[in-house]
Structure 1
């Protein structure tokens, strides 16, 4: 299988994004050796800031493997941003179920063609009060079963200190200079699920296994134990 080359649009994005990332932030990166050198694969990330896609994009770009993010369709509407997203091969995700299925098919095709697709399984910024990962959505499990590609768990921390999630004031806090931390781990072993029917329960188990690995790596980055269970916003709303 081939892999996506770093083409014009990705190089342009790097020229625009890398200098401020290098100037304004310190980096603490670990686990680049777990990013496959060849072949298609999936990365699963936690999400606690609108800045962390840029932080992770910088990390993976420096491995030589360019990422394709599943991004909300609304981000493709502004002319310049939309042109950049399309040019770099990012995958739009729509709310409608049919279009959502198309996004997953595009992800499967990209992985089978030797590319990397980045998933934020939580689907939104974490609602966990301590900014730990939440229960994930099962799209990543469907794609993992269909492709049998390596799923690399990635934890990131620090971007929330610059752009806090759900802050009432959309204020960027650049000073003092913050450290953006990224830790990629070895692939999640999902072989026990291969060949099983993708029932809701199987997909839930796969997604939970992936997210618990991400949570464990975040605990390592933060230097504190992770919660025993993933935060479930629906259960929290219902008082369970």
Structure 2
């Protein structure tokens, strides 16, 4: 289980100090983060500032969050070793080690840690910052470990760092809101996956169910009407004459 070590305290000190200056937070639903035991915190991804916001939110509940982090970031001198010492989980995209990150995250959950997952895998490409379809990693984790999935919506971090405009606007006291919902009831999905390796239909369906629940929470935060469907990225390729195409 993750402990509050030296680098965790240092890192959280920097995050808290930075966000205290540049954000004015409104948090709701922190009681849904369990006081002990493994849990998956699944959140929408709207900005490169998101990990700071989510780390602060989770840490304030008394838990030490562990994030899935690009393996290349963990190789950066000084910063990489510091992040590794706090228990961050490397993601090896586009390599034969790609599945290892899911295995390491599953092990962390079984050890009783809180793992923060951005199911979209990247910041949303929706021009209005609504959620996209989720990748299947979050579903694999939930079904493999039985850990509760806590859906979380956040809004406001894109005002500090806009990934669409590629701009940084560190204005003091920028409003940032986080809303966590109760653990999702995944009993039907676990029943469908019982007895074997879940197929693509189950994994994709569960991932999207999680994203739709996050979208409901985001709708409450924004008080705006979302699009009917989750944003698709990358866009589907048009079918070729031989019937091939899709993503």
| Selected match of 2:146 from 139, 145, 148 | 148
SS in 2 for 1:79: coil
Residues 41 and 115 in structure 2, CA contact (< 8 A), matched pair in contact too: yes
Q: Quick check: 1:181 aligned with 2:159?
A: no
238 and 51 in structure 1: CA distance in 2 versus 1, 3 angstrom threshold: farther
65 and 238 in structure 1: CA distance in 2 versus 1, 3 angstrom threshold: farther
Q: Quick check: 1:103 aligned with 2:112?
A: no
For residues 12 and 230 of structure 2, the distance between their equivalents in structure 1, rounded to whole angstroms, comes to 34
Q: How do residues 1-240 of structure 1 correspond to structure 2 at under 5 angstroms?
A: 3-168=1-166, 170=167, 172-175=168-171, 177-195=173-191, 196=193, 197-235=197-235, 238=238
- Superposition deviation, residue 225 in structure 1: 2.1
Q: CA offsets, 1:91-121, max 9 Å, x none?
A: 0101235312111110010000100111111
The structure where helix makes up a greater share of residues is 1
For residues 232 and 24 of structure 1, the distance between their equivalents in structure 2, rounded to whole angstroms, comes to 32
Q: CA offsets, 1:19-78, max 9 Å, x none?
A: 121122101111000001111010111111111110111111111111110011111121
Runs of 5+ unmatched residues, structure 1: none
For residues 46 and 158 of structure 1, the distance between their equivalents in structure 2, rounded to whole angstroms, comes to 12
TM-score for both structures, normalised by structure 1: 0.93
SS in 2 for 1:50: coil
For residues 174 and 32 of structure 1, the distance between their equivalents in structure 2, rounded to whole angstroms, comes to 26
For residues 216 and 151 of structure 1, the distance between their equivalents in structure 2, rounded to whole angstroms, comes to 15
For residues 55 and 26 of structure 1, the distance between their equivalents in structure 2, rounded to whole angstroms, comes to 11
- Superposition deviation, residue 237 in structure 1: 6.2
For residues 217 and 238 of structure 1, the distance between their equivalents in structure 2, rounded to whole angstroms, comes to 33
- Superposition deviation, residue 8 in structure 1: 1.6
Aligned-residue RMSD, C-alpha: 1.7
- Superposition deviation, residue 234 in structure 1: 3.3
Q: CA offsets, 1:142-195, max 9 Å, x none?
A: 110000110000111101011101324x4x212363111111110111111214
Aligned match of 2:242: none
Name segments (4+ residues, structure 1) moved above 2 Å. Answer: 174-177, 233-240
Q: How many residues align?
A: 236
For residues 212 and 237 of structure 1, the distance between their equivalents in structure 2, rounded to whole angstroms, comes to 24
TM-score for both structures, normalised by structure 2: 0.91
For residues 156 and 238 of structure 2, the distance between their equivalents in structure 1, rounded to whole angstroms, comes to 31
For residues 237 and 30 of structure 2, the distance between their equivalents in structure 1, rounded to whole angstroms, comes to 38
